[in-house]
Chain A
Amino acid sequence: MKKVTKEVYLKWYEDMLFWRKFEDKLAAVYIQQKVRGFLHLYNGQEAVLAGTLHAIDPSKDKLITAYRNHVQPIGMGVDPRKVMAELYGKATGTSHGLGGSMHIFSKEHNFYGGHGIVGGQIPLGAGLAFGDKYFETGGVTLCYMGDGAVRQGSLHETFNMAMNWKLPVVFICENNGYAMGTSVERTANHQEIWKLGLGYEMPCGPVDGMNPVKVAEAISEAVERARSGEGPTFLEMKTYRYRGHSMSDAQHYRTKDEVEEYKKIDPITQVLDVIKENNYATEEEIKAMDKRVKDLVKECEQFAEESPFPEKNIMYDVVYDQENYPFLPHKL
């Protein structure tokens, strides 16, 4: 694995803080009804993404995930202003306002969505890996899912084929404890999700998903295995989300104390502690990072606010590659 240097810690801090504040801003503008639909926020799970990005080669490796997907593309290099604009439904958004919160995509930055059907992205992730193996690109696909998705048949069908065909893919379950409002305990007879890999003889294991170093170590090993042709790995990231499943979640299924307990091992705080203990940055430098984050979030909001809504024709133009597809009329 690449060394975790002072620069890495500083980048982790600034990136993770930005992701958190970006999501906080979305929550705020959602309440103002500027962003609508469903809104699933990543707060608390940032170490999983930070650790991943340290372990992969973003020029050829691919990310695909479910609908909690605003900050992963930003981590892969997508302009955060375009992500914010997508949530505002604006023409400048990553999908010109056609995708919204749950469907962020960037072909340019190897981010393959952004998928709204629980577990639907799991075979797609294996399919991306199928393509990389077919064309011998050396790329590896990182395929994320929640703890709810592992109960879908798509996971089991995909695990079987991905192992059988030794596809270069890493399956990562971000176990934040709850499938919407249903705890892991209530959906299965077993609690250790990583053990699902055992039935397919897939290398698998649990990972401390609140610590980016632990995440990076586990993912590095898995990516190396995939890249060398030995096939998939299944990792269970033990993580936590501070906010509800979506904005409409009253969170009656857990206590405030439980949330507070997890905040004690908050990934951003953990990284900041390392920075302070090792004098990687002065107070002023930390404040400067905080200000940069704040300014960039503000810039994203302003860009989204000021961007125009899409023209009507885009609704038709992007459905088929065929030009002039004869859509049926729907109004007089």
Chain B
Amino acid sequence: MRTIQFREAVCEAMSEEMRTDDTIYLMGEEVAEYNGAYKASKGMLDEFGPKRVIDTPIAELGFAGIAVGSAMNGNRPIVEFMTFNFSLVGIDQIINNAAKIRQMSGGQFNCPIVFRGPTASAGQLAATHSQAFESWYANCPGLKVVVPSNPYDAKGLLKSAIRDNDPVIFMESEQMYGDKGEVPEGEYTIPLGVADIKREGTDVTIVSFGKIIKEAYVAADELAKEGISCEVIDIRTIRPMDYDTIIKSVKKTNRLVILEEAWPFGNVATEITFQVQSQAFDYLDAPVQKINTADTPAPYSPALLKEWLPNSGDVIKAVKKVMYK
């Protein structure tokens, strides 16, 4: 099978959908003439023209709202945020309008829109450019939240997100755009809300998502050498969450470690922990462990950032803790 970069998978997903549905357009900063800040829309202006691939001024609140308004009037917009860190100046339109128009209108208006862009840290970008808001968005009814971890998932999930009639937050990573992976030539989609068991195992369940899951793979490889078998689940969609796959795995392994690049207070891992103790309390042989970033804004210095971020060593430590080793 061919291998392509994550950014190419994103570009293919958008382009394929735009070829079959004239109501879709892409809007954001630098998406057209610059070909995307991270080249995820390379060539799209040439193919679709300026009516459908639209450069905006730096005005996230304004263009997020314009996109939502157009979604109420027949469009299916894809809005690119250069990073979700910048979505905060437009978050009113996402939380108060995109997520609520359907409910407030008693179901009269759908809001078929995708807000996409990179999330979380990407090297030494310091406090304002290293934040993960998955749990913030996933907390809000009305939204769906998707975080792929490889090119194959990114393409299949993004196509589903674009076809979805509800607003979808689709979160990528600057540090994944260059990742290569196998992606078939033909048409495929991956349904939202379905987790994927990336590695099967018997001793411990590790749940993660997004680019940080790579640390879980490294840890699983290391632990395998010591005879510890890890099952790695990529939840892929944060909202709605596929709890069944997680619970089923925990009932098999009886041990759970959750790896999430986010601040530790009230995050996705916290929610999973609650659900697991609620639905599989008697199956747990050890308290659930979660690994997150430090409970501080992201530091700049490489020495500090290394300490701030979760890594494979932290995963190994947590797995051994739940194994009482």
Residue pair A99, B106 in contact (C-beta under 8 Å)? yes
Interface flags for B37-72 (1: CB within 8 Å of A; 0: not) read 000000000000001000011010111111111111
Known contacts A124-B97, A154-B62; A94/B106 CB under 8 A: yes
A135 at the interface (CB under 8 A from B): yes
A-side interface residues, number (CB < 8 Å) = 50
Q: Contacting chain A: which of B107-115, B178-186, B210-218, B254-262?
A: B107-115
Query: A98 touching B62 by the CB < 8 A rule?
Result: no
For window 124-159 of chain B, which residues contact chain A by CB distance below 8 Å? Answer: 141-142, 144
- C-alpha gap A322/B111 in the complex (Å): 12
A252 part of interface (Cβ distance < 8 Å): no
Residue of B nearest to A99 (CB): B104
- B103: Cβ under 8 A from any A Cβ: yes
Given contacts A107-B109, A320-B142, contact A126 B65 (CB under 8 A): yes
Q: If A130-B75, A161-B56, A319-B141 touch, does A123 touch B105 (CB 8 Å cutoff)?
A: no
| Contact call B110/A93, Cβ cutoff below 8 A | no
- Chain B residue contacts of A64, Cβ below 8 A: 69
Count B interface residues, CB 8 Å: 43
12 A-B residue contacts at CB 8 Å?
A95-B104, A95-B105, A105-B106, A105-B109, A124-B65, A127-B65, A127-B67, A134-B51, A157-B63, A158-B66, A320-B142, A322-B164
* Chain B residues within an 8 Å CB radius of A113: 101, 104-105
- Cβ A95 vs Cβ B108 within 8 A: yes
Chain B contacts of A321 at CB under 8 A? 102, 110, 112, 164-166
Q: Enumerate chain B residues within 8 angstroms of A49, measured Cβ to Cβ.
A: none
Interfacial residues of chain A within 215-246, with CB under 8 A of chain B in the complex: none
* Chain B min CB distance to A41 (Å): 20
Q: Which of A1-9, A114-122, A270-278 contacts B (4 or more CB under 8 A)?
A: A114-122
Quote the shortest CB–CB distance from A21 to chain B (angstroms). 26
Instruction: Check if A194 is an interface residue, CB within 8 A of chain B.
Output: no
| Cβ contact within 8 Å between B75 and A128 | no
In the complex, whether A28 has a CB less than 8 A from a CB of chain B is no
> Which chain B residue shows the least CB distance to A91?
B106
Contact partners of A130 in chain B: CB under 8 A: 66, 69-70, 73, 75
A317 and B62 contacting across the interface, CB-CB below 8 Å: no
Question: A322-B164, A322-B165, A322-B166 in contact; A127/B69 too (CB < 8 A)?
Answer: yes
Q: Say whether B74 faces chain A, with CB atoms less than 8 Å apart.
A: yes
Asked if A135 and B61 make an inter-chain contact with CB atoms under 8 angstroms apart, the answer reads: no
In the assembled complex, which residues on chain B have CB atoms less than 8 Å from the CB atom of A106? 108
Q: Which residues of A contact B175 (CB under 8 A)?
A: none
A112 to B56, CA, bound (A): 24
B240 at the interface (CB under 8 A from A): yes
On whether A161 and B59 interact (CB within 8 A), knowing A98-B103, A123-B69, A321-B102, the answer reads: yes
Within 8 A of A (CB), among B255-313: none
Binary interface encoding of chain A residues 279-303 relative to chain B, with 1 for a CB under 8 A from any of its CBs, else 0? 0000000000000000000000000
Instruction: Tell me if B92 counts as interface (CB < 8 A to partner A).
Output: yes
Is there an interface contact between B63 and A161, defined as CB atoms closer than 8 Å? yes
**A-side contacts of B71, CB under 8 Å:** 127
Chain B positions within 8 Å of A103 at CB level: 104-105
Q: Cα distance A158–B66 when bound, in Å? A: 8
CB distance A107 to B108 under 8 Å? yes
Shortest C-beta distance, B30 to chain A (Å), equals 15
The A316-330 residues at the B interface (CB cut-off 8 A) are 317-322, 325-327
Q: Which of B183-207 contact A (CB under 8 A)?
A: 193
For residue A160, CB closer than 8 A to chain B, the reply is: yes
Q: Given A160-B57, A161-B57 in contact, is the A126-B69 Cβ separation under 8 Å?
A: yes
Tell me whether B73 and A326 are in contact (CB under 8 A). no
Taken together as a complex, chains A and B put the C-alpha atoms of A160 and B62 apart, in Å, by 9
**Does the CB pair B69–A125 fall under 8 Å?**
yes
**Alpha-carbon distance A154/B62, docked complex (angstroms):** 6
A54: interface (CB < 8 Å): no
By a CB distance below 8 angstroms, the chain B residues around A124 are: 65-66, 68-69, 72, 93, 97
**Complex CA–CA separation, A95 to B104 (angstroms):** 7
Chain B's nearest CB lies how many Å from the CB of A78? 11
Q: Which of B93, B109, B240 contacts A123 (CB 8 A)?
A: B93
Instruction: Tell me if A77 is interfacial: C-beta within 8 Å of chain B.
Output: no
- Residues on A with beta carbons closer than 8 Å to the beta carbon of B103: 98, 318-319
**Residue on A nearest B111 in the bound complex, by CB:** A321
Asked if A120 and B74 make an inter-chain contact with CB atoms under 8 angstroms apart, the answer reads no
Across the interface, do A154 and B61 meet the contact criterion of CB distance under 8 Å?
yes
Q: Are A128 and B102 in contact (CB under 8 A)?
A: no
A123 touches B75 (CB 8 A): no
Contact with B along A147-163 (1 / 0, CB 8 A): 00000011001101100
Query: Closest CB of chain A to B202's CB: distance in Å?
Result: 28
A95-B106, A125-B69, A127-B66 known, 19 other contacts, Cβ within 8 Å: A62-B73, A98-B104, A99-B105, A105-B104, A105-B105, A114-B105, A123-B64, A123-B68, A124-B97, A126-B62, A127-B68, A127-B69, A128-B70, A134-B75, A158-B66, A161-B66, A317-B107, A319-B102, A322-B165
